[in-house]
Amino acid sequence: MIFPLEQLVKFSGNVYEATAAASRRAFQLAMTQDSVIFENENDGKTVSVAAKQIFGSDVHYKIGESNS
């Protein structure tokens, strides 16, 4: 699997927030050793899997309020 560029181009939300969410999701996938990252098409690429989940709306994220 490569980075989902088509989904990124079609994405209409805040790309910075989605990128931050994908980074966090990639960390979660790596730390839990989620089986989805070991499927044939994913080849262990956690960032690509996370980006596909975020930009494809498979995983939803919520931006918390700042503490300032």
Q: Would you place residue 27 in the very low, low, confident or very high pLDDT band (cuts 50, 70, 90)?
A: very high
Average pLDDT, the chain: 82
More confident residue, 24 or 64: 24
What pLDDT does 28 receive? Answer: 92
Helices 15-32 and 46-55: crossing angle in degrees, nearest 10, is: 130
Predicted TM-score (pTM) of the model is: 0.75
- Angstrom CA distances, 30 to 27, 38, 49, 65, stand at 5, 11, 10, 26
Q: Which two tokens stand for residue 48?
A: 């690509």
Query: Is 32 strand, coil or helix?
Result: helix
Q: Would you place residue 32 in the very low, low, confident or very high pLDDT band (cuts 50, 70, 90)?
A: very high
Q: Would you place residue 1 in the very low, low, confident or very high pLDDT band (cuts 50, 70, 90)?
A: low
